[in-house]
Amino acid sequence: MKKSILLILSLTLISALKAQSAKDIIIKADQKWQGLSQISSMEMTIVRPTWERTIAFKGWTKGRDYSLTLITAPAREKGQTFLKRQNEMWTWNPSINRLIKLPAAMMSQGWMGSDFTNDDILKESSIVVDYTHKIIGKEEINGIMCHKIELIPTEEAAVVWGKIIKWISIDETDQIKNEYYDEDEMLVKTDIASDIKLMGDRKIPTRIEVIPADKPGNKTIVIITNIKYNVKMDNSFFSQQNMKKLK
């Protein structure tokens, strides 16, 4: 009887340690990618079977509560901005001089017609807070050995995905691959990160390719051209007034 109790306790402890270590890995990966704040410049190429187009944009983020994105090219979309302040989100379109509040239901929709969602750009959800974490194995992705971690949303979380699988590099805690599933556990999209470079004070993947599961020939490629971490920014920078002033 004592041996059985000890075995149960040992298995419970091992399970708890694994869950804790999974969360630790997720926290480190998230902190490395996000930083306390960041200013970034990126180019996004939307690839379709018969056409492709490139959009350039600049982003400012501070923690999980504040995000501002400015489209810098092409000319017809230049000046359009997207703002998140805590739980509220807006878009400003200078061509029609209109400010629109984005409902939570739009977070799963493609951003600027791409395979990225509004949630990817505006970062409404948090992989640390809104999900539970479990290591389900180790696997090599493009020559990089990774922890394979399953993320399941908490009951109270208002998130886009029913499940996420992340491959996070063991040595550098980079998010190398992600699979996103809907509530029925059907694969919706996969993204793969590569081309690791020194950006500011850290090395991160600078190329992210997003591939939808049910649309052959479709993909979106984002290239990070510049990024600065832990830049001091006031909360007042993230305002509706500033959405209309950025150029």
Q: What is the pLDDT of residues 63-92, one digit of tens each?
A: 888 999 999 999 999 999 999 898 788 999
Distance CA(124)–CA(111), nearest Å, equals 13
* 210-234 per-position pLDDT tens digit: 999 999 999 999 999 999 999 999 9
**Is residue 97 assigned to a domain?**
no
Domain interval for residue 212: 30-64+104-225
**Is residue 19 assigned to a domain?**
no
Helix (H) or strand (E) holding 23: helix 2-34
Distance CA(225)–CA(3), nearest Å, equals 58
Inform me whether the pLDDT recorded for 14 exceeds 50: no
Q: Say which amino acid occupies 239.
A: S
Q: What are phi and psi of 22, to 5 degrees?
A: -65, -45
Inform me whether the pLDDT recorded for 200 exceeds 90: no
pTM (predicted TM-score): 0.84
**Is residue 172 assigned to a domain?**
yes
HSE value, Cβ hemisphere, 13 Å, CA-based, for 43: 10
**Would you place residue 4 in the very low, low, confident or very high pLDDT band (cuts 50, 70, 90)?**
low
Give the domain CATH number at 44: 2.50.20.10
Average pLDDT (136-150) is: 97
**Is residue 25 assigned to a domain?**
no
Distance CA(113)–CA(219), nearest Å, equals 11
Distance CA(134)–CA(23), nearest Å, equals 8
Inform me whether the pLDDT recorded for 103 exceeds 90: no
**Is residue 75 assigned to a domain?**
no
**Would you place residue 120 in the very low, low, confident or very high pLDDT band (cuts 50, 70, 90)?**
confident
Cβ atoms 147, 130 nearer than 8 A: no
For 3, the token pair is 């041996």
Q: Give the total number of structural domains in the chain.
A: 1
Inform me whether the pLDDT recorded for 122 exceeds 80: no
User: Strands, E, within the chain: which ranges?
Assistant: 37-48, 51-62, 66-73, 81-85, 88-93, 98-101, 131-141, 144-153, 163-169, 175-181, 187-199, 202-212, 219-229
**Is residue 50 assigned to a domain?**
yes
CA dihedral 43, 35, 163, 107 (to 10 degrees): -60
Inform me whether the pLDDT recorded for 149 exceeds 50: yes
**Is residue 125 assigned to a domain?**
yes
Inform me whether the pLDDT recorded for 33 exceeds 70: yes
pLDDT at residue 89, as a whole number: 87
How high is the mean pLDDT of the chain? Answer: 89
**Is residue 130 assigned to a domain?**
yes
